[in-house]
Amino acid sequence: MSMLFVLIPLAIALLAFAVWAFFWAVRAGQFDDLDTPALRILLDEQRTPHD
């Protein structure tokens, strides 16, 4: 059970990393458009070859 003294700080470290990663994503503009990505998945399909 004393393992908790290692695991929990590890969890906190992961949390800190997660927050940093999210901040990086926001700064990189990944979240600027929250509406289209959900729909693009549905609409992307095989294009009929032309030209």
Q: Establish if 42 lies at the interface with another protein (CB under 8 A).
A: yes
23/17 Cα distance (integer angstroms): 10
Least distance to another protein, CB of residue 47, Å: 6
C-alpha R_g of the chain: 20
**Which member of 5, 6, 10, 13 binds another protein (CB under 8 A)?**
5
DSSP 47: P
Contact residues for another protein (CB under 8 A)? 1, 4-5, 8-9, 11-12, 15, 18-19, 22-23, 26-27, 31-36, 38-40, 42-43, 45, 47-51
